[in-house]
A and B are shown apart, each in its own frame.
Chain A
Amino acid sequence: MTANVGAQLRKGVVESCVLGLLEKTPMYGWQLSETLISSGMIASVGTLYPMLSRMRSQGLILSYEEASPSGPVRKFYRLTDFGTVALLEFRNQWTPFVQVVDRLIAERADDD
């Protein structure tokens, strides 16, 4: 369990992190991949596309093609209205959730 705890935690929140990134600005696959890999949220680009595909089929995000600032046409991903609502719901639950977990796992105070 200890070895998998990081992976399990990431698995539970990585989609919401994608929603959070796309709320700021539409991004293309490699941009998302670099950001998530450098943040330690995914291990490789192989994780990203199945997740994006699933999120698109759930109506959370949309994809469209557009010329990127650096030139070539790329597939960009952006949030849908449903995705925005899902992100808001996650935000509303995240802080209280973290507080509860913090309280439950807090180290025992030393009795002097």
Chain B
Amino acid sequence: MMIEAMTKDPARKYLAEVEEALHDIDAELREEILGGLAEELRGLTPEAVLARIKQMGSPAVIAAEARIQIEGQTAVMATDRQVEPAWYSTVGALFITVGGIILPVIGAIIGYAMLWISRDWTRRDKKIATWTVGLATSVAAVVVAVVLLNASNDPLDVPLIPRWFEAVANGMIFVQLVNVIVGIRLLARRNSR
């Protein structure tokens, strides 16, 4: 147990330092670098982990080299790909969180579009967010359909608010709550870097 903890800790600490050093570069690339380093440290003895970390080099050097590569690439591609402003992903996450309240449905769609365009989130972040809201929308649609199918046909039973309206409104509120959770998670992921 002790040996296992010793094996994991230097690797985890090193990867956290590399992640911090790479905080300002493209999320997918950052994940690729971290994944490559992590797979190399996995399953090694504590001594081997420390030796491999020494070979890999300091997080600052890795980040500096990565930036040189990216900047060279950006200079070449500057005409067809603009650098993303720092606020873009935050605004996208805020649209997901509250966009649906300000502009029902459309606000949230804008947020998800910005999420997929942004290079600040990993593909995994994007997929989890989109699948979560997709699943929530499907569940809401099924519940609304079931409620409407089971609605009373009694002509004397006329509620103040039409049942279809109440069911759709409740479904939209449920999806909006899920959007708030998804948006907060995205903002927390971004702030933890």
Chain A residues with CB under 8 Å of chain B are: 11, 28-30, 33-34, 42-54, 71-75
B39: A residues at CB distance < 8 A:
28-30, 72-75
Number of A-B pairs, beta carbon distance below 8 Å: 67
Most-contacted residue by chain B among A28, A45, A47, A53 (CB, 10 A): A45
Q: A33-B36, A49-B36 are in contact. List 15 more A-B contacts (CB 8 A).
A: A28-B39, A43-B61, A45-B33, A45-B56, A46-B69, A47-B68, A49-B33, A49-B66, A50-B66, A50-B73, A52-B32, A71-B43, A75-B32, A75-B35, A75-B39
B144 CB to closest chain A CB (Å) equals 40
Q: Which residues of B contact A (CB under 8 A)?
A: 28-29, 32-33, 35-37, 39-40, 42-43, 55-57, 61-66, 68-70, 72-73
With the chains together, A45 CA to B36 CA distance in Å? 9
Summarize A's interface: helix, strand, loop or mixed. Answer: helix
- A45 touching B73 in the complex, CB below 8 Å, given contacts A30-B40, A73-B39, A75-B39: no
Q: Can you list 8 A-B pairs with a CB-CB distance of less than 8 A? A: A29-B40, A43-B65, A45-B56, A47-B69, A49-B66, A54-B69, A54-B73, A75-B35
Contact partner of A44 among B36, B40, B61, CB < 8 A?
Answer: B61
